[in-house]
Structures are given as structure tokens and as C-alpha cells.
Chain A
Amino acid sequence: MRAARGPKRPDYMGNPDLDRFMMMFSALMSEVSALRERLDTHELLAVAGKVATPEAIEEFAISPADMARRSALRDAYLKRIFRVVFEDLERAERGPDGSIAGPEETPTRDSA
């Protein structure tokens, strides 16, 4: 059961296919993140002098410090991926001087 009932998905990018591609892209981001953390577990097991068998990976108990480190890595990973999104925000936050993109320069629905 993976489809929610109710109103249809709102229109975000002016093209529902583009919205659905973001959904796929999100799942792919999640998969890369999971892969990165599995690699991290390999490294932590190696540091402890253990072999990273599938069983050792499943039994691995992460420390609170490593958990926090991974959380920070995920935050940084997301910021890197969405750099062009935050670029827009940074321009807006710079305040009303010449460096701000006016509404004319803001990408519109048509150009997106």
C-alpha cells in the first residue's frame, strides 16, 4: 500500500512529470546516503579490527557520537546537492542592493 488517497499531488514545477522526477531523485539521494553509511560501517569495523561480513554489519551498534557525525554528514550532503536552491535564498537574504536578482532575473515557471 504505497499510494495515498485524497487530493492529487499539488503542482510545483508547472509540470507534474518534473515533480515526479524529484520524487525519484529523492529516493536515489536516500540510496546514496545509505550506501555511504554502509561504507562508514565497514570503516568503523575495520578500525575495531573486525571483518565487515553481512552479519557483522547488521549486528554493528553505532555509538551516539558516530550517529551525530553521520547526521551532520547528511546535512552537508543535502546542502551540496541543493546548492542552486540555496543560491536563490542567499541572493534574497543579501538585502536590497545591486546584487539582488530582481523579479525579472528570477527563473520563471516557463524557464524552469
Chain B
Amino acid sequence: MTQTRHAVLPEQTHDEASREAFCGSMRKLFTEQLWPGVRDVYEAQARAAFERRTGHAPANVREVRESLEPSFFYRTANLIGRSAQELLWDTVGESIERQIDDLNARAADIHDAKGSMRLDPDLAVPRYMDMVDIHVMPGNFHTELGEGDVFAAALYDRGVHHFAYGGMGPENEFLGIAMSNWLKANFPDFAPKRILDMGAGPGFSTLPWKRLYPNAEVFGVDISAPMVRYAHARAESLGVAVHYSQQDAAHTDFADESFDLVTSCLLTHENPVPQIRAMFAESHRLLRAGGMMFIDGAHPPAANHEDEFFTTWFNYNANEPFAVGLRKLDLEEAFVTAGFPAENYFTSGAREAVYLKGMAGHKTRSSASAGYRGTIKA
């Protein structure tokens, strides 16, 4: 699968395309064969060997890991997964570096915009964002390399495409389509007039909302200036009217009760719990009575310590330090604490991870998602 062309999508030379595709193949090997294989090794050998040695089966996540440490397969599988992750950003990054001036110029060259963009040069980057580069992506989502820079967003747009070896869709939009379609199917009478997408990034999930509810005014906020510039240029180029602004989703400048729907897609698991709670409180402030908060971003539930180990690879190997905190957060309680009535909580229940559907191979056992969560303001 190739990506839909738009004005700020990076170009590829012949060899860049090949190197990037190789990263996708390596990611596929890890996702579909190596990591599932680790569970096979655990169940067939490692668990029993640990029990023989210690007199008890692995009783917690640390002991599950300990039981696997002697396995060459386990150690190499992990190392290949980590290598693929680093190689991906490095490969795509090299390609974007050589064309960044051109991409920045294209992002600034917008005429007759249907949507809009607001930047805030004085916005402080929270410490938690500056401490760790999520996904080991150098510079994280927000680093600005110069005036009018879009590097981080171009890197993420192309990088995610290869990370999922095309499985996220030609516009990396499949998660956004799936969640918006679920909401419309389950709340057919809900017709939001103003929609806010928090942590919108390059706009993967924002555009599907506008396409599904074409009469709605759709807004996207992100703390990253490169993301906002890129998202605006991308949306305009794809002919979708979205109003982007550079803001912290926990403290926006929108008026009280000015939205019918506040949503986010894969945002919560990259944020520490106090920030998540602050975003929920802000969502409550922004919604009118009867308005809806709706998120895709709960961590898959772990039935036991073994499941916990096999669903937290990225936490320990690819800089996702906050996802473990989210797993321990009771979202139902967090929604109530943010001001939503307990009886208005709803969830889609567990579902298959949508992004794997587009992938060629079999589903992995770690592909379960916790599903969508939402609530309605009284």
C-alpha cells in the first residue's frame, strides 16, 4: 500500500523507498512472527524451566521476563524489534532532512484555505514531553528545528505508515474511520455541530470526523507547532476544512460549553495520569450539556501478569513510559472525577486492534484493544 499524495508528504527517491519498505518488513517480522514466537517459547519451555529451577511458576511480570532471559530467541527477537524501531526513524529521518526546506516552504504556501491555523510561540512545552522521545522517535512530536519547521510531523506521517507496514491506511486514517463509524452506528441521532480532536498530530483521526459529519465545524489542537503547521497544510491539500491550533489540550482557550463532541485517538497512553485527568476535566468544561467525550486510547486489559508482560513490549523497548500508568487508571472513575455522571459511561468493549486488519499476516495474540470509552455531560 502506498500513501495518498498531499502537498507536504515527503518525496522518496528509488532507494529511499526501498530502505523504508525494508523497515516495514522488519517491523512485520517482529510483529507477526518474533514477538508471538516469544509466547510460544515461554509456554513450551521457559515457564516450565523457571518452575523447575525455583519451585514455582513465574508469579509476576518480573519473573516472566526472568524466565525468558536465558532464551536466545527471546533476546534476539527483542533486539530485532528494537533495531527495526530505531532504523525506521533513522531511515525516514535521513530522507526528510534532505528535503526539509522544500517541505517547510510547501507547508507555508497555502491559498484560499477552507480551514485555519493558529500558532502560539509562547506555549511552554510540558516537562513530561521533553524528558522522553516517545517511540524512540528523535525529537519527539514537538521539537522545532527552525522557523516554519514541519520535520517532526513529516517524520511521523511517513514513519507511522511504515511502522504499520501500510496497515493504518493510505492516510494513516483507519483508526479514525473505525472510531467515528462506531460512534455514528451506536448513536445514530447524535449530530455534533462542533467537534474537537485533542492531540490531533498530523490529522490522521481529525479528517475522518469531518468527512463523517461534513456539516460540523471540526477543530484540532496539538502542543506541537510542527504538527499544527503540517496538519493544516495536509488538510487543505486533501480538501478537508479543519481549524487547527497549537494548544495544550488540558488548557485550551475555547469558551465553556462550546463543543458537542470532544475526542482523541491514541493520545491518552502517551501522557502521564495527571495530564490525562486534566484533559478529561477540560473536555467536561468545553462540552455543552448532552455533549459527548469519546476516546480511543485505553490500554488493553491484562487478565494476569503473563498477559501484562506480553502486551507491554513498547513500554520497555520503545519509550512508552506512560502507558503502564494508564493501564492502572480506572477510566470510569476518572470520567466521574472530571464531572461526568457515572451512569453516562459507555464502552465498545474489547475489540481487535484495527490497524492489524490492514496488515497482510495473521493476527497476533497481543492485538486486542480495550476499545472505545465515552461519556455524556449532564
Give the nearest-CB partner of B53 in chain A.
Answer: A103
**Which residues of B lie under 8 Å from residue A26 when comparing CB positions?**
26, 80, 83-84, 86-87
In Å, the complex CA distance between A26 and B44 comes to 29
Residue of B14, B25, B69 near A71 (CB, 8 A) is B25
B40 within 8 A of A: yes
Does B70 lie within 8 Å of A109, measured CB to CB?
A: yes
Chain A 20-43 interface residues, beta-carbon cutoff 8 Å to B: 22-23, 25-27, 29-31, 33-34, 37-38, 41
**A1-B145, A26-B83, A74-B21 given; A12·B132 CB < 8 A:** no
B140 within 8 A of A: yes
| Count: A-B pairs, CB below 8 Å | 158
Does B87 lie within 8 Å of A30, measured CB to CB?
A: yes
Number of interface residues of B (CB under 8 A): 61
Quick check: which of B199-207, B215-223, B278-286, B313-321 contacts chain A, the rest being far away?
B313-321
**Which residues of A lie under 8 Å from residue B45 when comparing CB positions?**
92, 100-103, 106
Q: How far is the CB of B67 from chain A (nearest CB, A)?
A: 9
Does B80 lie within 8 Å of A58, measured CB to CB?
A: no
**Which residues of A lie under 8 Å from residue B84 when comparing CB positions?**
26
Does B138 lie within 8 Å of A103, measured CB to CB?
A: no
Does B44 lie within 8 Å of A96, measured CB to CB?
A: yes
Q: How far is the CB of B5 from chain A (nearest CB, A)?
A: 13
Binding site for B on A (CB under 8 A): 1-7, 9-10, 12-13, 19, 22-23, 25-27, 29-31, 33-34, 37-38, 41, 57-58, 60, 67, 70-71, 74-75, 78-79, 82, 85-86, 88-89, 92-93, 95-96, 100-103, 106-109, 112
Binding site for A on B (CB under 8 A): 2, 13-15, 18-19, 21-23, 25-26, 28-29, 33-34, 37, 40-41, 44-46, 49, 52-53, 69-73, 75-80, 82-84, 86-87, 89-91, 93, 130-133, 136-140, 143, 145, 151, 316-317, 319, 321, 360
